[in-house]
Structure 1
Amino acid sequence: MGQQASKLNKEDISNLKQETKFTTRELQQWYKGFKRDAPTGKLTKEDFIKIHRQFYPFGDPTDFATFAFEAIDVNSQGYIDFKDFIISLSIASRGSMPEKLKWTFKMYDRDKDGFISYDDLLRVVRSIYTMTGTECVTFKDEDITAESRVGKIWVGFHKSLGEKDSGRISLGEFSDYKRLDPEALSTLGVYNDLV
């Protein structure tokens, strides 16, 4: 995939344009930035966390960046190559709502059992709160804690708070965005405004 070159070749660009929603110019710009952060063409989890620290200097992005890294590292290689990175970025930032939700589901399914439990949801939302730094972000009173926010999301998926220990959200439920509470839906799009 042209990993050692400073520019993408025509074949790589052609393939990536078919697999993403980016223009040739955007692909070249993202590749240039990717190569700056990962000169070998392999972005490690540590590098990924370091990049997130630049965007979230008032919090600790370690857990969230780890969760996102694992969702992007689709082959569990221990690193992200440019193709995996740009395809995931395209989905997370410009994909259709069903595409975004399917990608996001992978990040929220922490134990990889094919479902999102209340605990899975809580781990990711806590990581978002920790990443942003609650001193710098103003929350609505009812969203002041990660737990209260997760409760709203859980109920938004038509789950009872009484079933926190036994309830699960399937990919089908998660992807049925027309049935979701709009607030719950907005919380799930962490990378929406990135590009």
Structure 2
Amino acid sequence: MQTYKTFIGGKWVETGKLLDVTEKYTGEVFAKVPLCDTSSVDLAVNSAQEAFDEFKKTPAYTRSQILQKAADLILKRKDEIATVICKEAGKAWKYSIGEVIRGYETFKFASCEAMRIHGETVPLDASVSGTNRVGYYIRVPMGVIAAITPFNFPLNLVAHKVAPAIASGNTIVLKPASTTPVTALILAEILQEAGLPE
């Protein structure tokens, strides 16, 4: 049985209380994960806000590289992740592998999109007063993203929140489903290895 810590501010932190994660086929506990309290959430949000001040300046190509490396690591660890999905979500192997492939694709797509996030110019000459004028807008990171994900796709629905947040220069605080948290913790390991700043 593996015991996990929670991932806050680029560090693995103990929260004190642990939650049992059961294998859906046998009912046996196969992992213990941190049960976060209010102080843990405050620490996560404050850490994400502090990190945002620097991360929002991260160039698109760097965010893209981090996401591509994460995609590659998901693929490299596909059997391990699929096994965890089978255990904690009770999915058949075929669907678990399919979800891992989809998670890989989601990170790959986000890697590409990181380099395509830009603004647009708008000609203003539809109005007489707009002759020889052009308006424009740019897209900028918003800040800390709060994400809560359900149990039924423990990798892919997490990926659909985490990858776009990173691609667009935001930081994120994720609360995965309490019945399927291990997959999200493995993804945190992958993102750390991929070079996501603290």
Fold shared, TM-score > 0.5 on shorter chain:
no
Structure with the higher strand share, 1 or 2 = 2
Give TM-score scaled by structure 2 length.
Answer: 0.29
TM, length-normalised to structure 1: 0.29
Structure scoring higher RCO (CA < 8 A, sep ≥ 6) equals 2
